[in-house]
Amino acid sequence: MGFFDKIKNAFKADKKAEQEQEELKEEVQAEPEQPESVETVPTADGHTENTADHQLSEPDESVAQPISEEPAPFTEPVAEVEEKEEIQVQKKYEKGLEKTRKTFSQRFNELMANFRSVDEDFFEELEETLIGADVGFETAIKITEELRQEVKLRNAKKTAEVQNTIIEKMVNLYEAEGVDENNALNIQAGGLTVILFVGVNGVGKTTSIGKLAHEFKEDGKKVLLAAADTFRAGAIDQLVVWGERAGVEVVRGNAGGDPAAVVFDAVARAKAENADILLVDTAGRLQNKVNLMNELEKIKRVIQREIPNAPHEVLLVVDATTGQNAMAQAKQFKETTDVTGLVLTKLDGTAKGGIVLAIRNELHLPVKLVGLGEGINDLEPFDANDFALGLFKGLLKEE
């Protein structure tokens, strides 16, 4: 079953649940409240008394009462626990993508309201609408071209039908671009995993490292952090604060010192202490790409002297609220270093979640992690299915 079929089924299930809730509400409001019937029984002196009095009376102590055994502690089946966790993550995605959904809906509603027929003017306006929704120029052109053909084949005329066809094209393109995409982190089994974080200042790089460290620690892994962003004022202290929150140690040097020297010490300590994960924070100065590239290459060489196949991930952190600026940053970093995946932060605080489509279609870089809230537990592994449901389900119309 493809993504669009899953989204349609989820959309129908939501509509059915809403209808059942409405029907139940109407039944409750319509049903008159019945007084509780009380049964009476005659007593020896001719009076009556409530049977409820008998039901509430103390049990006869002369009658032996069965000895109740202590019930066994309830253990929830693993499958049910996993299902609940999956539902919670899906709700996080739906809530996190709420602003993007509303923006998409508003743009589509305005588009549909302005056109009575699907003509060339409509397709031109659709391109502008999609570009404005941050899905990217190439993606907007591709979707519009495919829609031209599809509308002719289906002879789609109704507003809801046309909008659903647009959504279907977006979903199918989103799914097709991610067919060979590996969104899982490359964690080494039984050895040290080194993850390098890159990105410009202010995108949430240090925060993402702290949140990820917390998750690994909760999973029972031994985690170390390396404060290799030695040039930005306060960067080292900020990582130390996050290390304290996550309960993990931070390897640090002096402000303004050599980042590669910090990484060398961190790798040595991680190996000596049999750590499972080493997360490395780096400086992000795009204004001097040559120096940045040289610095990152030096850090890599230091790591590879001790661990030849490391770093196992080079994660580029970008701020989703910046939309197309995030795309520009991603392109520049992709040119200067071997980025293996993206961390998309502040997705819950933006209406520009469509940037994920642009990243998939134009950069062909997998999104590995997404920030869906400000809490320490709100950095989630990217799930293409949950993202598609969270974004597109709310855009479908009843035909």
| Residues 211 and 280 placed together within one structural domain of the fold | yes
| Residues 197 and 115 placed together within one structural domain of the fold | no
pLDDT tens, residue by residue, 102-118: 888 888 888 888 877 78
> pLDDT band at 31, cuts 50/70/90?
low
| Residues 153 and 221 placed together within one structural domain of the fold | no
| Residues 205 and 309 placed together within one structural domain of the fold | yes
Average pLDDT estimate for 187-212: 92
**pLDDT at residue 250 greater than cutoff 70:** yes
51 lies in some domain: no
251 beta partners: 226
141 lies in some domain: yes
Q: Output the average pLDDT for the chain.
A: 82
| Residues 219 and 167 placed together within one structural domain of the fold | no
Query: Helix, strand, or coil here: 99?
Result: helix
Which residues fall within 8 angstroms of residue 192, CB to CB, at 6 or more apart? 270, 271, 275, 276, 277, 278, 307, 310
Strands 379-381 and 367-371: antiparallel
Peptide bond into 311 cis (omega under 30): yes
**pLDDT at residue 296 greater than cutoff 90:** no
Burial per residue of 287-304, b for 16 or more beta-carbon CB atoms within 10 angstroms, e otherwise: eeeeebeebbeebbebbe
Query: Helix, strand, or coil here: 190?
Result: coil
> pLDDT band at 43, cuts 50/70/90?
low
**pLDDT at residue 155 greater than cutoff 50:** yes
**pLDDT at residue 301 greater than cutoff 80:** yes
Which of residues 192 and 378 earns the better pLDDT score? Answer: 192
Give the residue numbers spanning the domain of 117.
98-177
pLDDT (0 to 100) of residue 186: 94
CATH number at 128 reads 1.20.120.140
> pLDDT band at 57, cuts 50/70/90?
very low
pTM of the model: 0.78
Average pLDDT estimate for 259-285: 93
182 lies in some domain: no
69 lies in some domain: no
374 lies in some domain: yes
**Under a CB-based contact definition with an 8 Å cutoff, are residues 285 and 203 in contact?**
no
Provide the number of structural domains found in the chain: 2
**pLDDT at residue 14 greater than cutoff 90:** no
